[in-house]
């Protein structure tokens, strides 16, 4: 019986072919946007999570200001803060980093270039590892280098200047000639990939700020919990700065803290956009409802004949609900295919534009949820018209022209 009803519903939809396709457009747009959004969001989340795992769960970041804003602050920490961090038991290595922007000129072409200062002492390896910096060719900067630097991946690949910044190249950075002694591998951070990495003392000389530190990387000794060591660092810097608890003008975060903060922001953005996209789905549902009401009006006499020869109220209801569900199903299938395709294109564009590696996410859960939502939406939207059709009286329906 259900097969016969489904077959009849399918014939009715094909008979209204053009109108049926126009009806599912709203569903297609909404499902496309939802699948693309969550596929892209999940890909970005996986990429960021992998980057933090690469940095190591035992890395602690000491920043000026509060939370993420500390990454965008200039200065705010000094050598006294660094020494306070190094005094904490459980800290294996701690090193300072400067991050700023400078005017760079290479063979007559000028660009804004990130300038990164890192230590050349025993903490250098840890700082580079914490920031995912690795020398691909040439040598690393070392103690005694004055204005020698490392070129980020995009620089030596020719993605910043028209010409590649290779080994032994000279680049004028904020008025100082810097000689490139090493080339860096891709870090996954678009800012670092277009940067020049210098000894921190060279950057301080260029900026004329002898004590400047923008943030501090610390590595926790094996066997110690990063959260516990972070609490001790926070307490030691408070003591150094003579500030009360709750009045700190600095932030101490573990890699997990920063990851949770970023993912929290990403989730908020996703759900705000989802709310906007839901409007398209609502419009799609109204389109199905309107089409089904029109179908009932056009087929009133047909419904009356079906009832007069024995069709039950439940069978009439089932025919219209199956038609509405089928519209949602078809719209969902098309939307899923377009959404996954749009996500693939977005992954490619983002990777080419900013160098962030993203892996497409095609989870069965996402596809199933999107398809289920479209079918449910279609069925719910078709319920009132289906109930109207099922409630028609045979005699009155047959009389209607």
The pLDDT tens digits of the residues spanning 181-222 come to 999 998 878 889 999 999 999 999 999 888 899 999 999 888
Which residues span the domain enclosing 274?
A: 2-51+260-399
Distance from C-alpha of 301 to C-alpha of 323, rounded to nearest angstrom: 18
User: What confidence score (pLDDT) does residue 137 get?
Assistant: 93
CA distances, 374 to each of 40, 290, 330, 338 (Å): 20, 16, 9, 14
Is 61 within a domain?
no
Q: Are residues 296 and 239 in the same domain?
A: no
Average pLDDT value for residue range 98-124: 93
| pLDDT band at residue 9 using 50, 70 and 90 as cut-offs | very low
Q: Look at residue 11 and tell me if it is in a domain.
A: yes
Return d(Cα 188, Cα 216) in angstroms, integer. 20
State residue 65's pLDDT score: 77
Regarding whether 231 and 301 lie in a shared domain, the answer is no
Residues β-bridged to residue 149: 180
Per the structure, the count of domains in the chain is 2
Average pLDDT of every residue of the chain: 79
Question: In this structure, what token pair is assigned to residue 131?
Answer: 């920031």
Asked whether the beta carbons of 52 and 44 are under 8 A apart, the reply is no
Residues 25 and 75 in one domain: no
- pLDDT tens-digit profile of 224-259? 888 889 899 999 999 988 888 878 888 888 877 766
Assess if residue 339 is contained within a domain.
Answer: yes
Given a cut of 60, whether residue 72 has pLDDT beyond it is: no
The CA distance from 178 to 331, in Å, is: 58
Check pLDDT > 70 for residue 355.
no
The residue-averaged pLDDT of 373-391 equals 75
Name which residue leads in pLDDT, 134 or 386.
Answer: 134
Please check whether residue 239 lies inside any domain of the structure.
yes
Indicate whether 253 belongs to any domain. no
Reported pTM: 0.62
Q: Does residue 102 surpass a pLDDT of 80?
A: yes
- Among candidate residues 374, 336, 356, the one with its CA nearest the CA of residue 39: 336
Q: What percent of the chain has pLDDT over 70?
A: 72
Q: Domain ends where: 191, 216, 248?
A: 248
pLDDT category of residue 75 using cuts at 50, 70 and 90:
low
Find the mean pLDDT for residues 92-99.
93
SS3 for the chain is CHHHHHHHHHHHHHHCHHHHHHHCHHHHHHHHHHHHHHHHHHHHHHHHHHHHHHHCCCEEEEEECCHHHHHHCCCCECHHHHHHHHHCCCEEEEEEEEEEEEEEEECCEEEEEEEEEECCCCCHHHHHHHCCCCEEEECCCCCCCCCEEEECHHHHCCCCCCCCCCCCCEEEECCEEEEEEEEECCCCCHHHHCCEEEEHHHHHHHHCCCCCECEEEEEECCCCCHHHHHHHHHHHHHHHHCCCCCCCCEEEEEHHHHHHHHHHHHHHHHHHHHHHHHHHHHHHHHHHHHHHHHHHHHCHHHHHHHHHCCCCHHHHHHHHHHHHHHHHHHHHHHHHHHHHHHHHHHHHHHHHHHCCCCCCCCCHHHHHHHHHHHHHHHHHHHHHHHHHHHCCCHHHHHHCC
Residue linked to tokens 């009006």: 297
The answer to whether residue 214 is domain-embedded is yes
> 138 and 233 share a domain?
yes
Residue 379 has pLDDT above 50, yes or no: yes
Task: Indicate whether 217 and 359 sit together in one domain.
Answer: no
Count of CB atoms situated within 10 Å of the CB of 116: 24
pLDDT range class, residue 25, cuts 50, 70, 90:
confident
Do 273 and 384 fall within a single domain?
yes
> What does R_g of the chain's alpha carbons equal in angstroms?
31
Last residue of some domain: 225, 248, 271? 248
The yes-or-no verdict on residue 288 having pLDDT over 80 is no
Residues 210 and 354 in one domain: no
Q: Are residues 348 and 321 in the same domain?
A: yes
From 196, 225, 248, the end of a domain falls on 248
Position 171 confidence tier, pLDDT thresholds 50, 70, 90: very high
118, 237: one domain: yes
pLDDT band at 156 (very low <50, low <70, confident <90, very high): very high
Half-sphere CA count of 55, side-chain side, radius 13 A: 26
Asked whether residue 24 falls in the same domain as residue 88, the answer is no
115-129, 225-239, 287-301: range with lowest mean pLDDT: 287-301
Positive or negative: CA dihedral 11, 12, 18, 21: negative
| pLDDT class of 8 with cuts at 50, 70, 90 | very low
The answer to which of 37-46, 61-70, 352-361, 392-401 has the lowest mean pLDDT is 392-401
Domain assignment present for residue 93? The answer is yes
* pLDDT at residue 198, as a whole number: 96
Q: Which residues pair with 159 in a beta bridge?
A: none
pLDDT at 324: 77
Burial class (CB in 10 A: 0-12, 13-18, 19+), 133: buried
Residue 150 lies in a domain: yes
Whether 29 and 111 map to the same domain: the answer is no
Q: Are residues 95 and 234 in the same domain?
A: yes
Q: What is the pLDDT of residue 1?
A: 47
**Greater pLDDT, 331 or 259:** 331
pLDDT of amino acid 391: 65
User: Which of the two residues, 333 and 70, has the higher pLDDT score?
Assistant: 333
Place 304 in a pLDDT band, splitting at 50, 70 and 90.
low
């Amino acid at each position: 019986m259900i097969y016969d009803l489904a077959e009849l519903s399918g014939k009715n939809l094909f008979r209204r072919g053009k109108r049926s396709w126009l009806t599912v457009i709203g569903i297609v747009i909404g499902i496309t946007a939802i699948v693309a959004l969550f596929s892209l969001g999940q890909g970005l989340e996986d990429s960021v999570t992998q980057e933090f795992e690469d940095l190591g769960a035992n890395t602690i970041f000491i920043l000026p200001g509060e939370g993420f804003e500390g990454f965008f602050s200039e200065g705010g920490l000094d050598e006294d803060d660094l020494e306070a961090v190094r005094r904490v038991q459980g800290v294996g290595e701690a090193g300072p980093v400067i991050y700023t922007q400078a005017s760079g000129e290479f063979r007559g072409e000028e660009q804004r270039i990130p300038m990164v200062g890192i230590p050349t002492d025993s903490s250098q390896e840890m700082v580079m590892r914490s920031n995912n910096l690795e020398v691909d060719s040439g040598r690393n900067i070392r103690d005694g280098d004055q204005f020698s630097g490392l070129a980020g991946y995009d620089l030596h690949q020719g993605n910043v200047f028209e010409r590649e910044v290779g080994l032994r190249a000279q680049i004028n950075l904020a008025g100082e000639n810097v000689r490139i002694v090493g080339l860096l591998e891709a870090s996954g951070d678009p800012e670092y990939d277009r940067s020049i990495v210098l000894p921190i003392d060279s950057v301080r000389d260029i900026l004329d700020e002898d004590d400047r530190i923008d943030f501090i990387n610390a590595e926790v000794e094996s066997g110690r919990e990063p959260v516990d060591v972070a609490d001790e660092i926070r307490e030691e810097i408070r003591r150094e700065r003579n500030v009360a608890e709750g009045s700190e003008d600095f932030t101490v975060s573990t890699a997990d803290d920063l990851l949770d903060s970023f993912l929290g922001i990403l989730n908020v953005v996703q759900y705000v956009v989802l709310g906007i996209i839901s409007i398209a789905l609502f419009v799609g549902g109204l389109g199905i409802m309107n089409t089904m009401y029109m179908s009932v009006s056009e087929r009133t006499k047909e419904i009356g004949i079906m009832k007069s020869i024995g069709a039950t109220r439940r069978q009439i209801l089932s025919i219209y609900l199956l038609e509405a569900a089928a519209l949602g199903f078809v719209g969902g299938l098309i939307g899923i295919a377009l959404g996954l395709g749009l996500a693939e294109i977005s992954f490619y564009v983002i990777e080419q534009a900013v160098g962030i590696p993203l892996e497409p996410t095609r989870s069965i859960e996402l596809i199933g949820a999107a398809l289920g939502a479209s079918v449910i939406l279609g069925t719910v939207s078709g319920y009132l018209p289906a109930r109207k059709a099922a409630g028609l009286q045979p005699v009155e329906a047959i009389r209607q022209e």
